[in-house]
Structure 1
C-alpha cells in the first residue's frame, strides 16, 4: 500500500497570475478578517497560488465567493497536502495510490462522490513543465477513483469537483470545488483563441471579461442587436470589434487610426477625440475603456460616466503600479464607488489576458 505522508491542514486554495501572490494573499487576509475569520496566507512568489490556512475553510469559502476575489482565478477548499507523492515502488512513485490513500485518510469513506476530477499544475515557470505529468496522472487517477467509489462513472458537473494541484512532481495539494462557486475551466483559465479578424490581441481581454464578469443571463439581456456603445481609447479597435460582433453599434473614440474593416462594417463610427474629454449627448447602453493612464484618473472618469448617466454599464481596465498593487486596487475601487455618487454594483477581476492590470464591470443600480 502507498504511504500517503499527507498533511491535513484545511485551507482556502486560490490560483492567481504568477507574481501576484502577495496581492492575492493581502486581499484574502483583508477579506477574511473583515468576515471574522482568523487565519494566515502561505505562498511563495512566482508559485501561481496561495493557501489561506483557516480552521473552518468551508465557512470561509462560503463567505468569500470567487466572483468577489479580484486576484483569484480559481477558489477551492484544500483538505490535504502531499509533500511526497507516494511511496516508491521499484523505480516509480505510486502517485495514484498516494492520492487515493490521502483522500480516505482525510475524508473517510467515499460517501462524497465527485462528479469530475481536474489534475492541474500552477500557471508558473515551475508549474508549466508539469503539464504532461498532470495529463498522465489524470488518466491513471480517474479509473482508480471510480473503482474506490470516489468518482461517478459518468462526469457529473453538478457534483463537487476534485482538484489535484501539482506544485512539483513530488508535491501536490488536494482540494474540493463547489461547482456553483468556482471556475469550470482547468486552472481557472478560459481558453480563448485569437481571431485573425481581431485588430489586436486586446480583444481577448474583453471577450474574457464578458465570459468571466457576466453570467449567461446577463450577457443575453445586456447585449442585443443595435444597442449603442462607446469605446474610449479604441485604436486599433480590438474592443470595438468584440462589441460589433455582439450586434452593438459602436462609437470608437481615439486620435489614432482604426482597422479599416471595422469602418467598412457600418457598425463602427470613428471619432478622433480625447477619451477623457468626449462624452455622448444621450445615454448609451455600454461604455468600455482600455486606456493607458493612471488608475485613479481612469476610476474617476469612469465614475463620471455613470454619475452623469452617459452609459448604463461599463467595462474598463485599471493599470496597476509595480508596488502595493492591492492597496492601489482597493483605493481606486473605493474612489470609483464614492465618485459615482449613487448605488452602484461592480465586479473586478485580474483576467488571464490581463497583465499589470485588473478589469472592472460596473452598472448603476435602479
Structure 2
C-alpha cells in the first residue's frame, strides 16, 4: 500500500495536503499530495514501498486537524465491468491486512452523496462475498484493522485499510447530529459534536457533571449556552447582544453584557467555551490569558480561519499556545480538529485538569 487517502471538508484540500506532508515528514515518511479543489479528499502518494501502511500505523490520527478519516490504499481500481464488479476485487482484497469490517465511503460532495445508494448496495454485496471467501473475519471477531471501500463511481474505486484504533470509527469521519428543536441556533451542534469527539464516555460523565460552572464568551443568542444548560451547569453568558428568552427562563444563566475580551470571572469556573468571530491570533491570546490566570479547568473554543494560509495560521496559533503554556510550567492537554459541523474554523479542546499528550 503506497497511497494514503484522507477525507476532509470540501474546500480544505490544500490545508489537509499541507498537514499530511508536514506530519508524515516528522515520521520519516515522504511523498507528495494529489487533489482537486472541492473534491473533499486528498491522496498522499508515498515514495517508499509500504509507506502508506507505515504512516497510518505510526502517525497518531488524532494529531491531524483537517483530515476526518484516512486509510492506506492499494492502487486505484478502474474499468470495472457492470456485469461483475466483485470477482476482480476479491484477490486484491487478499492483499490487505485481515479485517472483520468493511467500511463503505464516498466523498462528502454532491456527487458523492448521489452515489451513496449504489455504494451501500455494492458494499453489502462485496462484504458478503469477502466473508464467503473468508477474506473478512466473522463479524464478532475483533481485528486490529478495518477494510475500506471508497467509491469514486460505478467503475472506479479505492480499496484500503486503516488501524481500527488509529482512525475514525465513523464512515468518512462524519458525525451527523440532529438539531435540537428548542436550541437558539444551529451553532449548538458544534459544541455537541466537540464533546462527543474529544471526550470519551468516561470523560463526559466526569467533566460534564450537573452543578458545574461555565462561562460562554460571545454567547448570543445562546447556541453553546444551551448545551451547557442541557448538562445542568450554571452559566455566565458574556455578550453585548441579546440572549434567547426561553433559555434565560431556565434560571441557570446570568447574562453579562460586557466585552468578551475584557471580561474577568469573579472566581474560576469548570468550563470556558468560546465561539467568537475574530482573528484566530486574538482568540488564541484570550484563551492563553484564561489558562495562565487559572480561570478555568477546561476550554472548548473555535478559531475562525482566514481566507489564505489557513494551515500556517493554525500551526502558528497552536504552537504559540503550547509554547507559552510550557514556558509557564502549566500541564495541559490540547487537541484540535475541523469537525463536521464546523465551517471556516477549527475546534480546540484545552484541558488544564487532565493533562496529557
The structural deviation recorded for 1:93 is: 4.3
- More displaced stretch, 177-186 vs 318-327: 177-186
- 2:7–2:173 CA contact under 8 A, matched in 1: yes
Q: Distance in 2 between matches of 1:101 and 1:16?
A: 29
- More displaced stretch, 237-246 vs 257-266: 257-266
Partner of 2:107: 122
Partner of 1:3: none
TM-score, length-scaled by structure 2: 0.92
The structural deviation recorded for 1:364 is: 2.8
Q: 1:363 aligns with which of 338, 351, 354?
A: 351
The structural deviation recorded for 1:120 is: 1.3
Q: 1:37 aligns with which of 23, 29, 44?
A: 29
Partner of 2:152: 167
- What aligned pairs does 1:278-293 form with structure 2 within 5 A after superposition? 278-293=263-278
- 1:250–1:269 CA contact under 8 A, matched in 2: yes
Q: Distance in 1 between matches of 2:284 and 2:83?
A: 52
In structure 2, runs of 5+ residues without a counterpart are none
The structural deviation recorded for 1:343 is: 3.6
Q: 1:60 aligns with which of 43, 55, 65?
A: 55
Q: 2:336 aligns with which of 333, 348, 354?
A: 348
- More displaced stretch, 316-325 vs 176-185: 176-185
Q: Residue by residue, what CA displacement relative to the aligned partner does 1:160-212 show, whole Å, maximum 9, x if unpaired?
A: 22110012332211111222111111111012111101111001100111111
Q: Distance in 2 between matches of 1:156 and 1:322?
A: 46
Q: Distance in 2 between matches of 1:197 and 1:133?
A: 36
Partner of 2:184: 199
Q: 1:51 aligns with which of 43, 47, 53?
A: 43
Q: 1:14 aligns with which of 6, 9, 14?
A: 6
- 1:80–1:175 CA contact under 8 A, matched in 2: no
Partner of 2:220: 235
- What aligned pairs does 1:224-263 form with structure 2 within 5 A after superposition? 224-263=209-248
Q: Distance in 2 between matches of 1:159 and 1:115?
A: 9
Q: 2:76 aligns with which of 81, 105, 123?
A: 81
The structural deviation recorded for 1:244 is: 1.4
- 2:5–2:41 CA contact under 8 A, matched in 1: yes
- 1:253–1:274 CA contact under 8 A, matched in 2: yes
- 1:284–1:311 CA contact under 8 A, matched in 2: yes
- 2:56–2:162 CA contact under 8 A, matched in 1: no
The structural deviation recorded for 1:254 is: 0.8
User: Could you say what the CA RMSD is over the residues aligned between the two structures, in angstroms?
Assistant: 1.7
- More displaced stretch, 188-197 vs 175-184: 175-184
In structure 1, runs of 5+ residues without a counterpart are 1-8
- 1:113–1:149 CA contact under 8 A, matched in 2: no
The structural deviation recorded for 1:282 is: 1.3
Aligned pair 1:98/2:83, yes or no? no
Q: Residue by residue, what CA displacement relative to the aligned partner does 1:282-332 show, whole Å, maximum 9, x if unpaired?
A: 111110000100110001101100010011110100000111110111111
Q: Distance in 2 between matches of 1:148 and 1:120?
A: 22
Q: Distance in 1 between matches of 2:244 and 2:313?
A: 34
Q: Distance in 1 between matches of 2:141 and 2:104?
A: 16
- 2:98–2:143 CA contact under 8 A, matched in 1: no
Aligned pair 1:276/2:276, yes or no? no
Q: Distance in 1 between matches of 2:251 and 2:143?
A: 43
Aligned pair 1:308/2:293, yes or no? yes
Aligned residues: 348
- 2:130–2:136 CA contact under 8 A, matched in 1: yes
Shift of the 204–151 alpha-carbon distance from structure 1 to 2, 3 Å rule, reads same
Q: 2:65 aligns with which of 46, 66, 70?
A: 70
